[in-house]
Amino acid sequence: MAKEPKTSTRENPLLRALSRWENEGGRTDADREKRAALAKEEEALILQCLGAAVISRWNNLPTEVQRELFASAASVGEPLPTADLKEHIARFLHSHKDL
């Protein structure tokens, strides 16, 4: 069996490309961005499901737990100032209290 000549990675652009591919986990930047977007969508869905579950059990939660969850939710929001967000959350909870 004849041996193939050894070629350094530096001399062969195909080997350099393959090496980069392997070092990156065999994925392109587009794949990485797509996975990150899917992870964000999955996270949003999980948070939506958890939020819906909490709301559906809201009236059964102890008042102290309700207050803690309310305060936590109000501190998480970036798009609205805290006072506005608290008002929106309070209105939402009031309108969905009998679900």
Same domain? For 64 and 83 the reply is yes
Whether residues 46 and 62 fall in one domain: no
> Residue 58, Cβ neighbours under 10 Å: how many?
17
pLDDT at residue 33, rounded to an integer = 80
CA distance 94 to 15: 64
The answer for residues whose C-beta is within 8 angstroms of residue 15's C-beta and 6 or more apart is 7, 9
Asked if residue 93 has pLDDT above 70, the reply is yes
**69 lies in the same domain as 95:** yes
Average pLDDT over the chain, rounded to whole?
79
Q: How confident is the model at residue 58 (pLDDT cuts 50, 70, 90)?
A: very high
In a domain, 37, yes or no: yes
Residues 30 and 36: their CA atoms lie apart, in Å, by 10
Q: Which tens digit of pLDDT belongs to each residue from 37-56?
A: 888 888 889 989 999 999 99
Q: How many domains does the chain have?
A: 2
* Burial of 93 from C-beta contacts in 10 A (0-12 / 13-18 / 19+): middle
Q: What is the pLDDT of residue 95?
A: 86
User: Could you tell me if 44 and 63 lie in one domain?
Assistant: no
Higher pLDDT, 60 or 95: 60
With a threshold of 0.75, does the pTM exceed it? no
Same domain? 65 vs 92:
yes
Confidence (pLDDT) at 11: 76
Q: What range does the domain containing 72 cover? A: 57-99
- Does residue 7 sit within a domain? no
Flag whether pLDDT at 9 surpasses 90: no
Residue 39 confidence (pLDDT): 84
